[in-house]
Amino acid sequence: MNSSFKNDLNQLEFLSKQISDLISNNSFEKILELDLERRNIINKIKHFHSSSYKNKINNIININNLSIETTQLKMRHLVSSHSKFSKRFNFYSLTK
């Protein structure tokens, strides 16, 4: 196995964990940048033909997909909460 490939896998895993942590902390600003970096690594290594590393890549991809779903759910919730707050605020502003 190529050491560059192994480093790419480790970097890919690290980026995925960073993105997960950012999502957990509702810090969405840097996610796009990290995700682009992660996608570049995936495109670079996707043609490697080792089953053990394909499994690791598949795990990382699954983490990525879960992170995307979680982010979308959190974003919808935040938008909904903001909308409800704005309506309440407007209502109470009008009653004074």
- Distance in angstroms (rounded) separating the CA atoms of residues 40 and 47: 13
Q: List pLDDT tens digits, range 9-27.
A: 889 889 988 988 888 888 8
The tens digit of pLDDT for each residue in 28-73 reads 888 889 989 988 988 887 776 666 677 877 888 888 888 888 888 8
What are 49's two structure tokens? 């033909």
Q: Give the containing element (helix H, strand E) for 58.
A: helix 51-95
Q: Which helix (H) or strand (E) holds 13?
A: helix 3-24
Overall residue count recorded for the chain in this entry: 96
Q: Which residue has the tokens 């959190």?
A: 74
Q: In a 3-state reduction of DSSP, which class is residue 32?
A: helix
Amino acid in the structure at residue 78: L
pTM: 0.53
